[in-house]
Amino acid sequence: MRRNLSGLPPLREVIAAHGLQARKSLGQNFLLDQNITDKIVRLCGPLAGLSVVEIGPGPGGLTRSLLHSGALRVVAVETDSRAISALEGLQQAAGDDLALVQGDALEVSLPELCEAPRAVIANLPYNIATPLLLRWMKDLKGDPATYRFMALMFQKEVAERICAVPGTKSYGRLGIVSQWLCTVKVLMDLPPSVFTPPPKVRSSVVWFVPKVLEGPQPSFDAMERVTALAFQGRRKMVRSSLKDYAAHFERLGIDPQSRAEDLSVQDYIALAQA
């Protein structure tokens, strides 16, 4: 259903009226161009029947685009009380289709927010983007139905780490854990100029679709442990950085002289299981 949101004031007016000047400490870089937020939503494909969780709606640009889509409803979690009051007009226009939750996204769990099926679409505050992602990966390991997909904005450098392949300098723990549990790809890159205020770096929207995992899998904690050990000494040979796992190398076909960045995601899964 497309909601009738005509008559809402432009986002810049909303920001001025509610004193919502961007705060760096809250990772506030707003998207005020509706063409860009509409494009992000369009790239996510059909949202019919899904509840969408948005983290950090801010003045509500992406929220407006989400409400224009076919999503069942939008649940938006925002920590800044100025943004909550700036969103009142949108809340009135959207009625029950928009639920605003004031709080810290790190403290709420997705199942608490709305019923499945759900998706997460957000221009994340960069200061908590990585812990949020790891949290959602852990939730997914606990319940593969936690979300159908996520489309999340990160600093480009973080997006590159999430999607990195072995043998590259961006390859590491974040990519291994993400690619273990999800198929990942960059949906779009965005220059600093499309944000208000512009950040220092480029940004990318990353798409995550949970994988159907076959066979026995290690625990999330075991996977975190082995990748932490390996990448503590990225340039060390695994016979030294992963010496506690050395008894399994031959059976798993792992060359003891290889380095952390040479091992595949599958190698790490096998080691974590061992």
Which is closer to ligand SAM, CB of 77 or CB of 119?
A: 77
Least gap, CB of 68 to ligand SAM (angstroms): 15
Measure Cα distances from 264 to 20, 56, 246 in Å. 45, 34, 16
Compute how many other C-beta atoms are within 10 angstroms of the C-beta atom of residue 124.
22
Q: Which residue, 28 or 178, is less far from ligand SAM as judged by CB?
A: 28
> Is 129 a residue that touches ligand SAM (CB under 6 A)?
no
86/260 with CB nearer ligand SAM: 86
Stretches 71-79, 87-95, 139-147, 219-227: which one binds ligand SAM (CB under 6 A)?
71-79
Which residues between 146 and 175 bind ligand SAM (CB under 6 A)?
none
27 binds ligand SAM (CB under 6 A): yes
Alpha-carbon Rg for the chain, nearest whole angstrom, is 20
The answer to whether residue 62 forms part of the interface with ligand SAM (CB under 6 A) is yes
Q: What does the DSSP assignment read for 213-240? A: --S----HHHHHHHHHHHHHTTTSBHHH
Dihedral (C-alpha) 129, 135, 141, 147: value to the nearest 10 degrees? -60
Query: By CB under 6 A, is residue 128 in contact with ligand SAM?
Result: yes
Among 65-73, 104-112, 214-222, 254-262, the segment contacting ligand SAM (CB under 6 A): 104-112
The answer to whether residue 105 forms part of the interface with ligand SAM (CB under 6 A) is yes
Positions in 75-94 near ligand SAM (CB under 6 A): 77-80, 83
Closest-CB residue for ligand SAM? 56
Within 39-58, which residues bind ligand SAM (CB under 6 A)? Answer: 55-58
How does DSSP classify residue 97?
G
Contact (Cβ atoms closer than 8 angstroms) between residue 156 and residue 201: yes
- We find the least distance from the C-beta atom of residue 30 to ligand SAM, in angstroms, to be 4
3-state secondary structure of 108: coil
- Contacts of residue 130, defined as CB under 8 A and 6 or more positions apart, other chains included, come to 158, 174
- In sequence order, the 6+-apart residues with CB closer than 8 A to the CB of 226 are 242, 245, 268, 271, 272
The answer to whether the peptide bond before residue 197 is cis (omega within 30 degrees of 0) is yes
Nearer to ligand SAM, 27 or 210 (CB): 27
User: Per-residue contact track with ligand SAM, 195 to 234, x per CB under 6 A?
Assistant: ----------------------------------------
28 interacts with ligand SAM by CB under 6 A = yes
Structure tokens at 23: 């705060």
Nearest to 12 by CA among 27, 33, 39, 40: 33
Count of residues touching ligand SAM (by CB under 6 A): 23
Residues near ligand SAM (CB under 6 A):
26-31, 55-58, 61-62, 77-80, 83, 104-106, 123, 125, 128
